[in-house]
Amino acid sequence: MVQNFILVGQYDGENMSVSVLDFPNILLVEDDDIDRECVVRLFEKHKIIDRLLFAHDGCDAILKLSKYQAKNKERFPGLIMLDINMPKINGFDFLKYCRENDNLRHIPIVILTTSDRKKDIEQAKQFAVLDYIVKPLEEKHLSLASDSKIMQ
């Protein structure tokens, strides 16, 4: 079952498809408890919950990324799943920070949001996100992101 856990999207302007198996750690940046729990249940179902790291907003994510890089490199994420609408530092400000930081710009980022506004999708494309998924996160998004907003 886990081998079907694939994201299809675009990164740095090139189409790519990747398996979650390629990423030893995934940072979920999500302020909503219910949305976070939906992702947890999906990861538990695929028996990869131990790969999931959490941050409550962009500020918390920046602090945790700094900590992982300095003291706990084996937990440094290879993929970030990011909400847009969050307190303190929102998703787009966090994206800008990552893309301007030499140590973070290589990390693929998947947007996971309630917003299906064209403006937000276009802005996400400017930051070369891997994919743009409108919540709720469902099995179909992870097995084959055929309705990807970025790929259209």
Q: Let me know if residue 10 belongs to a domain.
A: yes
Examine residue 121 and state whether it is found in any structural domain, yes or no. Answer: yes
47 assigned to some structural domain: yes
Range of the domain at 60: 2-143
pTM for this one? 0.81
DSSP string of 16-84, one letter each residue: EEEEGGG-S-EEEE---HHHHHHHHHHHHHTT-GGGEEEESSHHHHHHHHHHHHHH-GGG--SEEEE-S
Number of domains in the chain: 1
Q: Flag whether 114 is in a domain.
A: yes
pLDDT > 50? residue 143 = no
On whether residue 149 sits in a domain, the answer given is no
Average pLDDT over residues 21-37: 87
CATH number at residue 45: 3.40.50.2300
Task: Identify whether the C-beta of residue 80 lies closer than 8 Å to the C-beta of residue 27.
Answer: yes
Is-contact 132 124, C-beta < 8 A? Answer: yes
pLDDT score of 10 more than 80: no
Per the CB < 8 A criterion, the answer to whether 98 and 111 are in contact is no
| Mean pLDDT value across the chain | 79
CA distance 21 to 3: 7
Q: Is residue 150 part of a domain?
A: no
Q: Does 148 reside within a domain?
A: no
Q: In this structure, is residue 131 part of a structural domain? A: yes
